[in-house]
A and B are shown apart, each in its own frame.
Chain A
Amino acid sequence: MNQHENAHADKSVDTLTTDTATRRDFLKAGAVVAGATLAPGVLFYGVAHSRPAEEPASKAVRWGMLINTQKCGDGCKSCVTACNEENGLSGKTGPQDSQWIRKVDIRNLQTGAHHELPMLCQHCENPPCVDVCPTGASMKRADGIVLVDRHICIGCRYCMMACPYKARSLVHEPLTEQKPDVPRGMGCVEACTFCVQRVDRDEAPACVDACTQAGHNAMLFGNLNDAEGPIAKALKSMASTEVRADLNLNTGVRYQGI
């Protein structure tokens, strides 16, 4: 190649470089604009796996909870308060009042060992409440969350007879000032929903967030089917217990330390 050709080539290269830079700048600018417009949605979907309202819950997910009773204690009731606040429960504790989550104290009769733990709907894989419900109002969502369809619950309370965890309550009196995304109704049975309204927005249940904020970190929520997720890893690496394991219900809520 002669010098001219070289010079030409250089020029060409320069020219090419200049052109490319211009195009690159344009693309970059475009990407920034597009990114600014689309990013929230893309990120929300990509990172957090939220799903649009019209898309049904997926079987690929099974929501579960791991509760470390060693970290739960001091009479802390943050989870209970947060649940009441989130779901619009009165917080009253009379025999006819609804409680979706409660703190339970257990003391070993032989050794005196003492534990505190939150008790809530255990979101069983084979829920007795769903088995006995005559109308199908008690149902399990594809992602394992056990719910009551408030439209077809007739208030027979057979599910309350069947639940081994006393997790369910009947709404005994008229309700006012309900939360818009937590429908409840007098005469219907209700229980912990794993804060399904939050889960569908890709947030953890209110009790779990409250436990973390209180500094206890005793409650871990996540997808049991995600082998790489924190809950599945934790369950794989340490011993955990199902309450009433003898019933073989495969509960979604597991306990450590009891």
Chain B
Amino acid sequence: MNIAFREIQAKQGYWLTMLVLGALAGAGVLSALYMEHHGHIVTGMTNQIVWGLPHVFAVFLIVAASGALNVASIATVFGKTLYKPLNRLSALMALTFLAGGLMALVLDLGRADRLVVAMTQYNFKSIFAWNVILYNGFFAIVIAYLWTMMDRKGSPWYKTVGTFAFVWRLILTTGTGSIFGFLVAREAYDAALLAPMFIIFSFNYGLALFLLILMGLYKGDNRPLGDKLVNRLRSLLGTFVAASLYFTLVYHLTNLYFTKHHGLEAFLLLEGGIHTQMFWLGQVLIGYVVPMAILFNPATNGRGWTVIAAVAAVLGGLAQMWVTIIGGQAYPMDMFPGYAVTSGFYDGVVNAYSPALVEILLGIGGVATAVLLTVGASKVLRFMPERLDDETLVALHGKH
């Protein structure tokens, strides 16, 4: 038995969704144009908090994009054929979420008009330059991967290209984590752990988003989606959330052990105001505790609970990016250890940051673009199996 893939239908709900997403994406682009015209003076970003909310959304989306490919990798690389019907949507989301993330990232550049310079001039000691290559390469490889899935002519290379894509995505997320890991100046960064931690985060955020898009598209298009598959993905998400918590624990325990990082930890965990709240309420409670409580509890097995758990994991992911990116910059750099420092340039003080509306719109615009491209592509090409009910899956794979 073969599984049939079909485009989603263009019903009223589809167009309404596209309209809302299009408006949000458009608002993001308009915000970027406004920033481009007036300069970053119209944002909440400063010479102290140099990366702001657009980066929180952008890095989250980029990390999630590489994680969204996991479902396909599990099918292709690790031979779990149960997931194979999902591999097209998985690869599609890897492309669209990377596009949304990069949109937010590049439109925030001080000179977004010089994007071509970033594509043509490389300093190979810079992990940023490597990331430009890794992101562009990822697009090319995942498109090739989709071709091996969707075109008979490509199918002989399915496993090879899929394996290559899997390795590439691991390198890509290593590169994204290393953007922070390679920063020697700031206490919150400068740690090799950030690269593998970002990979684990990507598993978590990518799968949470994948579940939400999968359930949303199947419900929106009235297609059957059985518990067999959803429950597998649920357990997997629970494992990834727990692994994220583990890495977070190790990161903070290591810092807590080193006296020189006690100030940073006191700031993040106790005294950091919004950043402390983002950590305990956002990253830990909403991002880890709530999803695990739902996903590991057989009593909260319903579809509604799964949506809540996945949404919580996504919100926790955004909170984590806030803590990592904004919290890491808000804590003052220790230029003179053992000294209290003051100056007219905000040395020695916790740096304030309140994002402007344009930043919020640009960040949300990136998310909207990612979802818009996913839904739009599902309408144009055959990314989604017609049915994924339990009977179909049992017929395909047996009871396991």
Contacts and interface: CB of A to CB of B under 8 A. Distances in A.
A135 B345 contact: no
B333 interface: yes
Interface residues of A, number: 53
A243 interface: yes
Given A155-B111, A156-B109, A161-B51, A106 B183 contact: no
Interface in B11-63: 36, 38-41, 45-48, 50-51
A93 B183 CA distance: 26
Contacts of A110: 338
Interface stretch (A5-13, A182-190, A218-226, A230-238): A182-190
B339 interface: yes
Interface in B111-143: 111-112, 114-115, 117-118, 121-123, 125-129, 131-132
B157 interface: no
Contacts of A130: 123
Contacts of A152: 114, 117, 121
Given A134-B123, A135-B117, A154-B109, A174 B39 contact: yes
B186 A161 contact: yes
Contacts of A102: 343-345, 347
A132 B50 CA distance: 15
B3 interface: no
Contacts of A147: none
Contact of B128 (A108, A158, A186): A158
A106 B47 CA distance: 21
Of the candidates B36, B111, B183, the one having the most CB atoms from chain A within 10 angstroms of its own CB is B111
Nearest to B123: A136
B46 to A, nearest CB: 4
Contacts of A154: 109-112, 114-115, 117-118
Nearest to A97: B47
Interface residues of B, number: 51
Nearest to A135: B121
B164 to A, nearest CB: 25
Nearest to A107: B340
B299 interface: no
B346 interface: yes
Contacts of B395: none
B343 A96 contact: no
A163 B185 contact: yes
Given A108-B338, A135-B118, A173-B41, A153 B343 contact: no
Interface string A156-175: 11101111111011111110
Contacts of A200: none
B262 to A, nearest CB: 14
Given A108-B338, A164-B184, A131 B115 contact: no
B226 to A, nearest CB: 46
A104 interface: yes
A128 B351 CA distance: 22
B342 interface: yes
Interface string A103-133: 1111111100000000100000000101111
Interface of A is mostly: loop
B341 A161 contact: no
B258 interface: no
Interface string B227-256: 000000000000000000000000000000
Nearest to A99: B345
Nearest to B328: A161
A43 interface: no
Contacts of A164: 184-185, 333, 335
A172 B132 contact: no
B329 interface: yes
B78 interface: no
A168 to B, nearest CB: 8
A134 B342 contact: no
Contacts of A186: 39, 110
A188 B111 contact: yes
25 contacts: A95-B351, A104-B342, A105-B342, A107-B339, A108-B339, A109-B339, A119-B347, A132-B125, A134-B128, A135-B122, A136-B121, A136-B122, A136-B123, A153-B110, A154-B112, A156-B110, A158-B126, A162-B183, A164-B185, A165-B335, A172-B47, A173-B39, A187-B40, A187-B110, A187-B111
Interface of A: 93, 95-99, 102-110, 119, 128, 130-136, 152-158, 160-166, 168-174, 186-189, 243-244, 247, 258
